[in-house]
Amino acid sequence: MDIAQKLRSEGFKVTPQRIAIYNVLYGQNDHPTAEMIYQNLRKEYPTMSLATVYKTMEIFERIGLVKVLDMGDDCSRYDWDTHNHPHLRCTQCNRVEDLDGIDVEKIQADVERLSEYRVTGQQLAFEGICPDCLRRESH
């Protein structure tokens, strides 16, 4: 099911803005902020507004089309890949990356067992220095 169908099936309308915003997000792997998405779209849609980006993201989050990330740098970042996985932010170049290979299901099961919570969400955020910046540092 593509975004247009997903939106309609959840009772939302399909607009050029929503499609464009999703495409920006989907096309890159950089976990952009609302501002980054907005700047990216201004060229093509001169009337695009930041408010529309935020409103769209709220809908996308609600219907499971994006995951909102708190990476500890005072603004939300968005990920089109909504399966649970950890993220890393480089404190030097500020990039945010996905990390595969961690068994998040096991961690969540452990958390449920140890806490007796019914866990409904998780945010595994790491910060550090990325390989590129480490290399740059050693010169």
Which of DNA, a second copy, none does residue 109 bind (CB under 5 to 8 Å by kind)? Answer: none
HEC secondary structure over 24-62: HHHHCCCCCEHHHHHHHHHCCCCCCCHHHHHHHHHHHHH
* Options 9-17, 25-33, 49-57, 86-94: segment touching a second copy (CB under 8 A): 86-94
For residue 48, state whether it binds DNA (rule: CB under 7 A): yes
For residue 105, state whether it binds a second copy (rule: CB under 8 A): no
Nearest CA to 95 out of 54, 42, 136, 139 is that of 136
Which helix (H) or strand (E) element contains residue 69? strand 67-70
Which of DNA, a second copy, none does residue 82 bind (CB under 5 to 8 Å by kind)? Answer: none
d(CA 112, CA 42): 44
Which of a second copy, DNA, none does residue 110 bind (CB under 5 to 8 Å by kind)? Answer: a second copy
Which of a second copy, DNA, none does residue 18 bind (CB under 5 to 8 Å by kind)? Answer: DNA
For residue 94, state whether it binds a second copy (rule: CB under 8 A): no
Per-residue tokens: 117: 């919570």
User: Of the two residues 11 and 101, which places its CB atom closer to a second copy in the complex?
Assistant: 101
